Amino acid sequence: MSAGIAVAFLGLAAGVASAQSTPAVIRGDGAFTIGWLASDTHSAGPYDRNNWVDSLFGAASAGWHWTDNLKSEIDFGAGTESRVFRTEQVSIAGRLTYHTIESRFRRRTLGLSQQYQFFHNVWFHPHVALGVNFTWERQTDDPGPIYLYDQPTGTSRIEQPERSGDSRTALNVSPFVAIGYKAYLTDRTFFRNDVRVAFHGGPSETVLRLGFGFDF
């Protein structure tokens, strides 16, 4: 539902923009950015303390200006591998014990947004944006060894050794809001900085990006 609303908004904004009588001075732009990505892993484990993980994030974007102030943008991004550890309770031969699971995450994203760019100055252009984010999250769980305490001998033994887990990929579709700016270095090249927050039952992803781009 949220993805449908965001896509409908993008189409409506583009239709309104096409009806404007003043053509855009800039037709399009492209940019390359790097930054920091913080994501909620949505873990269902009952003993987790912190489900947020961090990673480096790189992206490439392309935008089309309907007017000087209204722009549609598409971007592709990917994060480095991030890790989180959680504890899980298991039952072995009727006895309860715990073991640690290391979860590794990699994310690839596709973002579609509609931006409103303020002012008609030459060098500095702040903007706000509303859009939808498609995130492919690959998760690999590596269960650690399971130990049992042997009361007669007073020692612990490995009941189940460490093993490699299975990988799975899930697609999450989330609306997002963003705020940022373009600061021009020359007539056609600029420095870009923005912050994006996506929502999936609450804030689920935050991206801080900076980079350079060009107009065409």
pLDDT one-digit tens code per residue, 118-133: 887 778 999 999 999 9
Helix (H) or strand (E) holding 3: helix 2-18
User: Can you give the pLDDT at residue 29?
Assistant: 96
User: Can you give the pLDDT at residue 23?
Assistant: 45
What residue type is assigned to position 143 of the chain? P
Closest-CA residue to 133 (of 107, 105, 109, 169): 109
In a 3-state reduction of DSSP, which class is residue 7? helix
pLDDT one-digit tens code per residue, 43-95: 545 445 567 889 999 999 999 999 988 999 999 999 999 988 878 778 777 77
d(CA 191, CA 26): 16
What are 5's two structure tokens? 């609303």
Binning pLDDT at 50, 70 and 90, where does residue 42 land? low
User: Can you give the pLDDT at residue 26?
Assistant: 75
In a 3-state reduction of DSSP, which class is residue 98? strand
User: Can you give the pLDDT at residue 134?
Assistant: 97
If you average pLDDT over each of 15-24, 28-37, 136-145, which comes out highest?
Answer: 28-37
Binning pLDDT at 50, 70 and 90, where does residue 202 land? confident
User: Can you give the pLDDT at residue 116?
Assistant: 96
For residue 84, give Cα distances in angstroms to 64, 123, 126: 38, 42, 36
User: Can you give the pLDDT at residue 21?
Assistant: 39
pLDDT one-digit tens code per residue, 132-187: 999 999 999 888 888 777 777 767 777 777 777 778 999 999 999 999 999 999 98
Q: What is the DSSP letter of 144?
A: -
User: Can you give the pLDDT at residue 10?
Assistant: 46
Binning pLDDT at 50, 70 and 90, where does residue 99 land? confident
